[in-house]
Chain A
Amino acid sequence: MRIAVCAKQVPDPDIPPSQFKLDSSGLAVEPPRNATPVVNGFDLNAIEAAVRIKESLAGDAEITIFSSGHAFELAVMKKTLATGADNLVLVDDPETANLDAAGTARVLAAAVEKHGPFDLVICGRQASDWDQAHVPLFIAESLGLPCVTVARNIITDSETATVERVLTDGYQEVKVTLPALITVSNELGEPRYPALKGIMAANRKQPVKHTIAELALTAADLAPKLELLGLEIPKRSGKAEFIDGEDDAEKGHNLALRLRQERLI
């Protein structure tokens, strides 16, 4: 089985909100100095899903990671290879530095097609930078693949995948004919830690790199449909009223009294 997984390099979403800053243009985020980007968390879940399928086939699967962007931290992107993925394909082009979702989907679909055919394309449900969640659906539409989103479990045979899709109050079980695209969510379970052997093997591998011209795309193909006017950091309510006490137990006691006074409980 050939599996494609899409992964994105993003600023670390766990930086404290107080360190979150915009650059002088007001159109982009300025990561804190020395902050290392990370692989989008849901994409790590997607890689985990692919590795589990590979395990269920006793290793008889090839996993290729695809990413679109610019100024990649190679050490960060190579981490995607450390838990069992085989190949890394980077579309690295100045034109792919700031694409909207439609442009990103077009680039990834072209790259997947170039290295295809694949039985399965797996993506994280959304990226922690722009929270768009529709790149995978656009890829599925442009490749003409059936698509199931927000999976918490995937079971494959040679022709189908049976997927548990998370709903707001429960789940759906959907059977989809391969080839198909599936997005996965954190409910699938935490990605495994790479073994030292895997990290060393990943370090030795070199990514395949493409420009958009090699994918037969032009900058005009990737023009955004939405014009970003600006970013703004929302104001927070301010400082909390701290409840005091001799010790922590008394603080708990006083908190209950204060909330009762405010008629909140």
Chain B
Amino acid sequence: MSNVLVIAETISHGATPATLELIAAAKVLAGDNGNVIAAVTASSGSDHPQVPVDTLYVLDNDALGDSDSATFDAATDAFTALSINLKPDIILFPRDDRSSVVAPRLAFRLNAAFARECTGAERTADGIVVTRPVYGGNANARFRIPFGATCVITLRPGAFEPAANGTASDTRNFDVSESIRNSGSVLLRTVQEQQPGVRLEDAEIVVSGGRGLGGPEPFKLLGELAELLDGALGASRAACDAGWIDHSHQVGLTGKTVSPKLYLAFGISGASQHMAGCSSARNIVAVNTDPDASIFGDARFGVAGDWSKVLPAFISTIRDIS
């Protein structure tokens, strides 16, 4: 059996879907008679959040939670203090901006093993085994962490069926005011830059363009198509780096991860680094001049042709049948 600490996040005081997945994972990794606890950061004065575990620790401080001055450095100090106090065997983080900084630094401070962006985790007779994509998604690697070693794991969404929502049997405050040190960095401001329309991550249909489009102009047409289908506009990293479209549209390993019902890819070759961001789309449609482009190995429907001829006719027919 193992003690598992889940770094939880809440929205409207309830656990987020990602947190419920972590709790499901924690129950598997804890083993028989194992113990699952959770911790959540909060800003002073906010109502207590609810997470379905036996014991929930609330780390309440102005440098944490949702406040504008909340920093990743303060969260690192706070979770370090909690972990030293509770001595969990396994610490699970969601995959988000804060965890990308806090989880590895916590692992270093605890001298723990660290595995990020895992797509699977299981408990075996010889230890915890995690799976994570490597080489830009070209391969999956399986790693073992022997029992007895502390490990910090970040999980990608979709790895586990979410646990049922609910409330904690016991909620305790954990005072971190003495633990948060001057980190040497100051957060000046946080700027939200959301694109108008449907969020890429939430879109049912994503229309995406890549290097094969050859310039910025075609993205106007793709934007029209996205609007017509009530979808969102995506792009490959190559198209963003070329300056054809803003980086906030970047889909891929280091950009956004999308899982729409329909992913329409124009002029995208299908490099693994891009597919890592859209491979959970239920239907991929690819339009590419090269019939041997690797994206046709991932696509359900393909058109081997010139996007500049295919796209206008595609849009016009959609208008006709809508």
Chain A interface residues (CB < 8 Å from chain B): 11, 13-14, 16-18, 20, 22, 29, 101-102, 125-126, 128-134, 137-138, 140-142, 145-150, 152, 162, 166-177, 180, 185-187, 190, 225-234, 236-243, 247-253, 255-260, 262, 264-265
Inter-chain contact A265/B262, CB cutoff 8 Å: yes
Q: Any chain A CB within 8 A of the CB of B97?
A: yes
Q: A175-B188, A253-B314 are in contact. Are A17 and B272 (CB under 8 A)?
A: yes
Q: Which residues of B contact A22 (CB under 8 A)?
A: 139
Instruction: Point out the residues of chain A lying under 8 angstroms from B298, CB to CB.
Output: 236-237
- In the bound complex, how far is the Cα of B141 from the Cα of A227, in angstroms? 10
Closest to B129 in A: A229
Are B114's CB and A170's CB within 8 A?
no
Report 14 cross-chain contacts, Cβ distance below 8 Å, ordered by A residue. A11-B135, A13-B273, A126-B254, A148-B185, A169-B194, A170-B190, A172-B187, A174-B188, A176-B185, A226-B144, A237-B298, A241-B301, A243-B302, A252-B305
Query: Which residue in chain B gives the minimum CB-CB distance to A138?
Result: B108
- Contact B113–A170 (Cβ < 8 Å): no
B97 contacts A168, CB within 8 Å? yes
Tally of chain B residues near chain A (CB < 8 A) = 89
Which among B133, B304, B317 has the greatest number of chain A C-beta atoms within 10 A?
B317
The interface of chain B, by Cβ under 8 A from chain A, is: 73, 96-97, 100-101, 104-105, 107-109, 112-117, 129, 132-146, 149, 183-194, 199, 205, 229, 237, 240-241, 247-248, 253-254, 256, 261-262, 270-273, 283, 285-287, 291, 294, 296-306, 309-314, 316-318, 321
A146 contacts B183, CB within 8 Å? Answer: yes
* In contact, B297 and A170 (Cβ under 8 angstroms): no
Q: How far is the CB of A265 from chain B (nearest CB, A)?
A: 6
- Indicate whether A226 sits within 8 Å of B145 (C-beta atoms), given known contacts A134-B104, A166-B247, A249-B313: yes
Q: Is the CB of B256 within 8 A of A226?
A: no
B105 nearest CB across to chain A (Å)? 5
| Interfacial chain A residues near B117, Cβ < 8 Å | 131
- B205 — which chain A residues lie within 8 A by C-beta? 265
CB-defined contacts of A170 to chain B, threshold 8 Å: 190-194
* Residue contact A130 to B310, C-beta cutoff 8 Å: no
What is the CA–CA distance of A236 and B101 in the complex, to the nearest angstrom?
32
How close is B271's CB to chain A, nearest CB, in angstroms? 7
Q: Which of B108, B116, B240 contacts A133 (CB 8 A)?
A: B116
Question: Are B254 and A176 touching (Cβ within 8 A)?
Answer: no
